[in-house]
Amino acid sequence: MSQTDVPDANAVEQWLRGLQSRICDALEQADASGRFGSDHWSRAEGGGGVTRILEDGALFERAGVGFSLVHGPRLPPSASAARPELAGRGFRAMGVSLVLHPRNPHVPTTHLNVRYLVAEKEGAPPVWWFGGGYDLTPYYPYETDAMHWHGTARAACERVGSTVYPRLKQHCDDYFFLKHRGETRGVGGLFCDDWSEGGFGPSFALIRAIGDSFLPAYLPIVERRRDTPYGERERHWQLVRRGRYVEFNLVWDRGTLFGLQSGGRTESILMSMPPDVRWRYDLKPEPGSPEAKLLDEFLKPRDWLAPP
């Protein structure tokens, strides 16, 4: 086994902490008026983290960027459901998770999560894996934004291997899907789980490529849309669509379930929720409107990089 194949949790932790700092610094600069507060927390069962929150900024209504490192004597059911042979093992999990809820409805909401988990049992070798990715949830349909997002994601994956992007893109489309609505959460991106292909070195390289490409994928979209005029109609649509985001997080998201089942800090786990949201009964947009185009053309799995 080469040195790069030896799991190095300390290296992962240092990169994750640095990623949180770099992202917060960049988002503060983009917002211009808002500043992140830091909330350090500890977990009675073991571990803790730092939740950083920016609220009521010029650009972001809420931006949450959290780092956590938790451990315990037994894997939560959400982590062992797909790998029942690991049930009962102790665990150590660390990661960075963020959700950004912009003020302007023309700027998409976005989510990033990158994580590393080790399942341990006395007398047996540890089992480790990486997971995470990022996805984009627009409220208005801009093809140039979706193409830039996926182009950046593909370029990041191709630094690791030519077949990685299609697999992670497909996994993202499948995962961020509201089964009870029959629609995707947004235009997708990248997602992987239980990833250990090629050993520790290549797997860590993939997660670094995902995390390090997030800002180049997102910030150009922000700059393109942040000054787009909007009114009450666009704001109302944004709040209704945010309701779908809440539905996914509370009904389908395994990360939310893992955090709650592992005894994580509830405020930090639910920082992903938008500050304002609405539900309207059976709201249907006017045919031919931008809102209808979002539902009809954007909230379906699609190859955003296919030649015209």
Catalytic residues: 111
φ, ψ dihedrals at 162, nearest 5°: -70, -20
Name the residue among 252, 151, 130, 281 with its Cα closest to residue 194. 130
Cβ–Cβ < 8 Å for 275, 239: no
| SS3 labels along the chain | CCHHHCCCHHHHHHHHHHHHHHHHHHHHHHHCCCCCEEEEEECCCCEEEEEEEEECCCCEEEEEEEEEEEEECCCCHHHHCCCHHHCCCEEEEEEEEEEEEECCCCCCEEEEEEEEEEEEECCEEEEEEEEEEEEEECCCCCHHHHHHHHHHHHHHHHCCCCCHHHHHHHHHHHHCEECCCCEECCCEEEEEEEECCCCHHHHHHHHHHHHHCHHHHHHHHHHHHCCCCCCHHHHHHHHHHHHHHHHHHHHCCHHHHHHHHCCCCHHHHHHHCCCCCCCCCCCCCCCCCHHHHHHHHHCCCCCCCCCC
Residue 92: name the closest of 47, 132, 135 by CA. 47
